[in-house]
Amino acid sequence: MAWDEWEQLKADVAERKSTPMQLNQHPADPGDGAPAGVGSEDLKSSKRAWVKAGEDTKRLDEPIGTALRKLEDGQAGLGETAGSQGAAAQKELYDSWSKYVKDVRTRCKSLGGLLQSSGHDLSKTDESLKSELDAIRRSYKDTEAVGGRAKGK
């Protein structure tokens, strides 16, 4: 910003005049009632990038599924837990983590689908996307603290 322009801005403020702001050399108001940048060819978004992000997020389902199968295989030989506190604790931990990982897997599919559809249809409103993200957040609410909640407390 040139020194003269700075001095003019200070003088305008001192006189309580409103000074229009310019960002990136574009006027604050194009004069047609639309916000600056709307309809501008300078504003670009890649549908392909959104779709790819969605596909990649949905694809996380595969390695998570593999991890779940390995976890199940490792748990398979545990047997009855009635006579052993250690075995009972291990089963409880397994059940907790198995549910959590399954929820993560489903969340990846849901979020991936939302990203993909956003890429295909960039005309969705911010409110529409926020509402869909909020629905995902409500469906897969995480535990309150690391380690979950203590029993009976």
39 and 63 in a common domain: no
pLDDT score at 37: 47
Residue 150 lies in a domain: no
Same domain, 18 and 86: no
Phi, psi of 23 (to 5 degrees): -115, 130
Tell me the range of 2-6, 30-34, 95-99 where mean pLDDT is highest. 95-99
Looking at residue 1, its amino acid is: M
Instruction: Report the chain's mean pLDDT, rounded to a whole number.
Output: 74
Range of the domain at 33: 1-44
Q: What is the CA radius of gyration of the chain?
A: 27
pTM of the model: 0.55
Instruction: For residues 54 and 92, state if they share a domain.
Output: yes
**Number of domains within the chain:** 2
36 and 76 part of one domain: no
Top-confidence residue, 30 or 57: 57
3 state SS of 15: coil
Q: What is the mean pLDDT of residues 80-106?
A: 84
> What is the spatial distance between Cα 38 and Cα 152, in angstroms, rounded to a whole number?
55
115 and 88 within one domain: yes
Are residues 23 and 71 located together in one domain of the fold? no
pLDDT tier, 42 (very low <50, low <70, confident <90, very high otherwise)? low
Same domain, yes or no, for 90 and 130?
A: yes
Average pLDDT of span 95-115: 88
Q: Are residues 119 and 62 part of one domain? A: yes
Residues 81 and 39 in one domain: no
Q: In sequence order, which residues have a C-beta less than 8 Å from that of residue 105 and are 6 or more positions away?
A: 60, 61, 64, 65, 68
Same domain (yes/no): 52, 10 = no
Long-range contacts of 54-57 (CB under 8 A, 24+ apart): 54/111, 54/112, 54/113, 54/114, 54/115, 54/116, 54/117, 54/118, 54/119, 55/112, 55/116, 56/112, 57/108, 57/111, 57/112, 57/115
Average pLDDT of 49-77? 88
Q: Which of 34-43, 71-80, 95-104, 110-119 has the lowest mean pLDDT?
A: 34-43
**Three-state secondary-structure class, residue 139:** helix
Q: Which residues have C-beta within 8 Å of that of residue 115, sequence separation ≥ 6?
A: 50, 51, 53, 54, 57
Q: What is the DSSP letter of 105?
A: H
What's residue 151's pLDDT?
Answer: 59
Q: Is residue 148 part of a domain?
A: no
